[in-house]
A and B are shown apart, each in its own frame.
Chain A
Amino acid sequence: MIVDCHVHIGEGVYQACKPEKLLAGMDASGVDRAVVCPVDRNLAVDNAEGNEYVLDAVARYPDRFIAFATANPWYGARAVKELRRAVQAGARGLKLHSKVQGFAISDDIVNPLIEVAGEHSLPVFVHSGTMVCAEPLQIAMLARRYPSVNFIMGHSGTTDFWNDMIPGITGVKNIYLDTSLNNPASIERYCDTMGPERLCFGTDFPQNTYPVELEKMQNAVPDDQQRKIVLCETILRLLGEELG
């Protein structure tokens, strides 16, 4: 089984992807399921519209998609209310993108949303790799503040935080790494150091395509058993699903 932990669907400004386009890409490459999040503008503003889009996709394709909802912390109490509503409607994780949403991921403005995720045992997917607002060590600071919440670090600090990743993240056990945008050598290094149980396969589709990203995983994690863990087991465990 292959599960993609990082996909955006919706009608955005810089990207647009309908569920059917995603499904076609998944089917052509044998990808079984995908975590779907709202697209760019819906991460920044109109969060409810984006959340409805992904929840609707899940309602139509419940065996294929898993919804992560977003809320921009600048909306304050309204953000908390929207996240609670989306979780009630079926969202199984929180997506934060501090670059698009305009805050530093370690700032306390985000705390109320993380606390909602914690109440519901939801994983929190956070963008990383952008200076000032989404640095790996900022995410480590947040993850230490909430040790019982699991965080998935989108892009694993790519590109120029590779120096910080192993010393800064290895010991923070509630941080997991998304493989998208990472070069195969970095994935191999993280897998060797932190173990495949800390890695989740992700593409950031439609930013990247399945054939190239899956070939990359084959090269980066050549061991079949380890690759199986990265391609599906880690994310399913974070979602609380039986591995079967």
Chain B
Amino acid sequence: MVIDAHIHFTTPLSAGVDEARRAMAEELELMAEAGVDGATGSLIDPLYSNCDAHSQYNDFFAEISKGFEGRFWPWCVVNPLNDDAADEVRRCYEVLGMKALKLHPWMQGFSCSDDYCDPVYEVCAELGMPINFHDGTPAYSSTLGCADVARRCPEVKVVLAHAGLNDQWRQARDIACELPNIYLTMSGPSMLAMQSIVDSVPAERLMYGSDYGAGGVSLIDYRLHKIQQLEMDDRTRKMILGENALRLLGVK
């Protein structure tokens, strides 16, 4: 089973639930044709810094994801700059059943290191809700900046969505070796970098993720085929391609 642990849907709120659900069905079908059995991710639009309707987007995304249980698991999005962000995370978990939080600090216009984020991190720690960070982009989204959340909040599972990209992948690899609550989806580093990560980081904390939504199905082909060509044993590949993502989401 292949689970893509890092995707985005680009459907706008204005599409309405019915059309958005049709679009999701079509896109999941295209992913299935590319060999991906399930996926987890966020909407793109609430990641822009001018979004002032996170709860509306979270309701919308939870609603359109209904009917795709077992194939797609939606992430909520909040902006920690907003006073109600921590409460919204709790609502998404307890009422909407969302299992992870997406934060994209540079696009959302906040620093992952600033203490105004603490209430969000605290509620994620309490709920056991993983945070998927865009990483690899200084200053607001540097790999070590995102990873430091994992150091300060050892109860929070921190996913570095890009495993450091091209310039910070060694830092992502090394911090993932050091901190047991760091997970990596390898959306971006070169194959040589990915091989080094696979050879070093405990396999149960590595995941395949394409960043679909930043591109179409060709992005899935590109990043899935990279993982498939890396050298690793079958057991490790199975974990990276799907099992780890399901475990992180708490899916039986």
Q: Are B136 and A160 in contact (CB under 8 A)?
A: yes
- Given contacts A186-B215, A207-B193, A208-B192, whether A215 and B221 have CB atoms under 8 Å apart is yes
Q: Are A215 and B222 in contact (CB under 8 A)?
A: yes
Interface residues on B, range: 20 to 34
Q: Are B218 and A219 in contact (CB under 8 A)?
A: yes
A33 within 8 A of B: no
Q: Are B214 and A185 in contact (CB under 8 A)?
A: yes
Q: Are A183 and B229 in contact (CB under 8 A)?
A: no
Partner of A160, one of B106, B191, B225: B106
A131 within 8 A of B: yes
B190 within 8 A of A: yes
- Given contacts A99-B167, A159-B166, whether A185 and B219 have CB atoms under 8 Å apart is yes
A243 within 8 A of B: no
Instruction: Output the least CB separation between B241 and chain A (Å).
Output: 16
- Given contacts A99-B167, A130-B167, whether A184 and B215 have CB atoms under 8 Å apart is yes
Taken residue by residue from 8 to 46, chain B's Cβ proximity to chain A (1 for < 8 Å, 0 otherwise) reads as: 000000000000000000000000000000000000000
Instruction: Output the least CB separation between B189 and chain A (Å).
Output: 9
Q: Which residue of B lies closest to A132 (CB)?
A: B138
Q: Which residue of A lies closest to B138 (CB)?
A: A131
Partner of B222, one of A129, A130, A183: A183
Partner of A155, one of B166, B192, B193, B214: B166
Instruction: Output the least CB separation between A62 and chain B (Å).
Output: 27
Residues of A within 8 A of B167 (CB): 99, 129-131
Q: Are B229 and A212 in contact (CB under 8 A)?
A: yes
Q: Are B137 and A160 in contact (CB under 8 A)?
A: yes
**Docked CA distance A184–B225 (Å):** 13
Q: Which residue of A lies closest to B134 (CB)?
A: A160
Residues of B within 8 A of A130 (CB): 166-167
- Given contacts A159-B136, A183-B214, A208-B192, whether A215 and B225 have CB atoms under 8 Å apart is yes
Q: Which of A145-182 contact B (CB under 8 A)?
A: 155, 158-160, 181
Interface size on A, residues (CB 8 A): 25
Q: Which residue of B lies closest to A206 (CB)?
A: B192
Partner of A185, one of B188, B192, B215, B229: B215
Q: Which residue of B lies closest to A99 (CB)?
A: B167
Instruction: Output the least CB separation between B137 and chain A (Å).
Output: 4
Residues of A within 8 A of B137 (CB): 131, 159-160
B162 within 8 A of A: yes
**Docked CA distance A129–B164 (Å):** 13
Partner of B191, one of A159, A208, A219: A208
Residues of B within 8 A of A131 (CB): 137-138, 167
Q: Which residue of A lies closest to B162 (CB)?
A: A159
Q: Are B226 and A212 in contact (CB under 8 A)?
A: yes
B216 within 8 A of A: yes
**Docked CA distance A209–B222 (Å):** 11
**Docked CA distance A209–B167 (Å):** 19
**Docked CA distance A181–B223 (Å):** 11
Partner of A204, one of B190, B222, B225: B190
- Given contacts A159-B162, A184-B222, A219-B221, whether A212 and B191 have CB atoms under 8 Å apart is yes
B245 within 8 A of A: no
**Docked CA distance A158–B191 (Å):** 15
Q: Which of B159-190 contact A (CB under 8 A)?
A: 162, 165-167, 188, 190
Q: Are B192 and A211 in contact (CB under 8 A)?
A: no
Q: Are A207 and B191 in contact (CB under 8 A)?
A: yes
A193 within 8 A of B: no
Instruction: Output the least CB separation between A185 and chain B (Å).
Output: 3
Residues of A within 8 A of B138 (CB): 131
**Docked CA distance A181–B106 (Å):** 21
5 other A-B residue contacts (CB within 8 Å) besides A99-B167, A155-B166, A219-B218? A130-B167, A160-B106, A209-B229, A211-B225, A216-B218
Closest 3 CB pairs of A and B: A185-B215, A219-B218, A207-B190
Q: What are 13 of the A-B contact pairs (CB < 8 Å)?
A: A129-B166, A129-B167, A130-B166, A131-B138, A159-B162, A159-B165, A160-B165, A181-B166, A184-B216, A184-B222, A185-B219, A208-B191, A208-B192
- A interface residues (Cβ-Cβ under 8 A, vs B): 15, 99, 129-131, 155, 158-160, 181, 183-186, 204, 206-209, 211-212, 215-216, 219-220
- B interface residues (Cβ-Cβ under 8 A, vs A): 106, 136-138, 162, 165-167, 188, 190-193, 211, 214-216, 218-219, 221-222, 225-226, 229
